[in-house]
Structure 1
Amino acid sequence: MSVAHARVSPAADETYLGTVRRLASAQKKAARGAPPYSIYVNRRVGRYLAAWAYRAGLTPNMVTGISAAFTFTGIALIATVAPVWWLGIVVWLLLAAGYAFDSADGQVARLRGGGSASGEWLDHVVDALKISTLHLAVLISAYRFFELSNDALLLVPIGYCIVAAVSFFAMILNDQLKAAHGAASASAAVTGPASTADGRSRARSLLLVPTDYGFLCMLFVLLGFPVLFFIAYAVFFVANAAHLTLASVKWFTDMSRLG
């Protein structure tokens, strides 16, 4: 069944697994070299959540609201609770659940026959708020609870906040400008032999691990051990800053070709 003719509610004879299979058949193709957690873990978990939400009669905006509730509860805990061993696990689970429901809202929209402009707007605004406040929460936690050797280290979460916000905006803008000029997406391009392309795709996927929000969520398991957490967090920041720098050159070149 095509997305254009999808049902707003499941048929009486459709099982939960039937809904999952129907959603999987309409799944968007992953871009080559996409971050591994987001594609192989989060999207699949989101599929099962989407099937549940769809059968429960939830709208995509309701699912976005659930995602926001999980995510911002985790972010609030980072900023307000002194780091202990269990806090990192709770924060990780909350952020991971929020991320999974973030994947589910778009999939619910496809099951219901397509999303709306207001739903897409809400989803992107929540994402933008999440990306900025997460790193600001780390800044607050580091200032209040960490025993940093130098106050200059507080620049790390500030810099991470800037890099994350600019990266998110640039990727959204790339898609909008390419769509406005009728340009093909990166996932549509095929170059070289399949084996070579697959090898490069896997290598790129591994290199993008630090830029994957799912792995950033997992990083908070270390929150109860501030020194280990901050070292790993700083490594992720450097990797994301380097990626943004290199990607910006490519993105600017791509935009130049659009005329």
Structure 2
Amino acid sequence: MTTESFADSMRRLASAQKGRAKGAPGYSVYVNRPVGRVFAAIAHRLGMTPNGVSAVSAVFTFSGILVLALVEPAWWTGILVWLLLAIGYALDSADGQVARLRGGGSLAGEWLDHFIDSIKIVTLPIATAVAIFRFTDLPDAYLLVPLGFAIVATATFFGMILNDLLKSSKGIRSAADAGGGSSLRSLILLPVDYGIVCLVYVLWGWASVFAVAYAFFFAAAAAFCLLAAVRWFRAMTRLSSVSPDGR
């Protein structure tokens, strides 16, 4: 355990937050990161490493996914799934904050964080499809919604990661490093925020209501992916003529 107090860790984190990505979704900025800050201070107080926090995050997240796929729907299972996913997401924010408290992260830690993210974003909609098939009377055609969600989520995640990678090869900082972005845009992007999508599982005990809400979030995610892909491609086209030092 560290000798630093919880309050001192919270103060250090408050003054050392990384920049907010331009237009980052509101839940991630205004709810998940502050909750993650509390978890980070607790984890640091307990002497946990960033990779240890990532591992605990994965345990919560994949426990929620397993409950979704294996346990018959009821009002309480939906709440349990949401709670496990939400805690896992907050801990996903906490691992990087623990790294900052300890003086900086590592490439291995960043790789582990993204590797876990890449698994969860595709397994959650697949588990949703499995659960819908096993436990509900929704038409088989509806399975295309969660399966499509898996494709859209994977493409969006890969596109964002690849953007940062290609920009760094040109000496350009990532959006998170640059900071900025409007609060209005953060609110507009709430339907594509992972934390808000997790919240829809509270409706899991009522299949028909869940289906409508989930389809809405899928449509929002698909629209965002399409619009973002066009924007990213244009940005990469412009970067093709930029020198390695970013000029």
Class of the TM-score when normalised by the shorter of the 2 chains: over 0.9
Q: Kindly indicate whether residue 148 of structure 2 is the aligned counterpart of residue 167 of structure 1.
A: no
Shift, 1:31, TM fit: 2.1
Q: Kindly indicate whether residue 121 of structure 2 is the aligned counterpart of residue 131 of structure 1.
A: yes
Q: Secondary structure at the match of 2:238?
A: helix
TM norm structure 1 = 0.89
Match 2:95 to one of 105, 108, 113: 105
- Matched to 2:172, the amino acid is A
CA distance in 2, matches of 1:147, 1:31: 41
Q: Secondary structure at the match of 1:32?
A: coil
Runs in 1 of length 4+ with deviation above 6 angstroms? none
Match 1:218 to one of 189, 196, 199: 199
Q: Kindly indicate whether residue 146 of structure 2 is the aligned counterpart of residue 157 of structure 1.
A: yes
| Structure 2 CA distance for partners of 1:184 and 1:90, relative to 1, 3 Å | same
Counting matched residue pairs gives 239
CA distance in 1, matches of 2:18, 2:145: 35
Q: Secondary structure at the match of 2:204?
A: helix
CA distance in 2, matches of 1:120, 1:28: 14
Deviations 1:185-241 (A, max 9, x none): 446387xxxxxxx7xx23322221111011011111000111111110000000100
Q: In the alignment, which residue of structure 2 is the partner of 1:241?
A: 222
Match 2:208 to one of 198, 222, 227: 227
Q: What's the Cα RMSD here?
A: 1.5
| Structure 2 CA distance for partners of 1:184 and 1:115, relative to 1, 3 Å | closer
Deviations 1:39-87 (A, max 9, x none): 1110001011101111111001110010000000000010011110100
TM norm structure 2 = 0.93
Q: Please say if residues 21 and 179 of structure 2, whose CA atoms lie closer than 8 Å, have aligned partners that are also in contact.
A: no
Give the alignment of 1:13-162 within 5 angstroms.
14-148=4-138, 150-162=139-151
- Matched to 2:97, the amino acid is Q
- Matched to 2:5, the amino acid is T
CA distance in 1, matches of 2:185, 2:16: 26
Deviations 1:65-119 (A, max 9, x none): 1000000000001001111010011111100000010000011111111111111
Q: Secondary structure at the match of 2:85?
A: helix
CA distance in 2, matches of 1:203, 1:15: 36
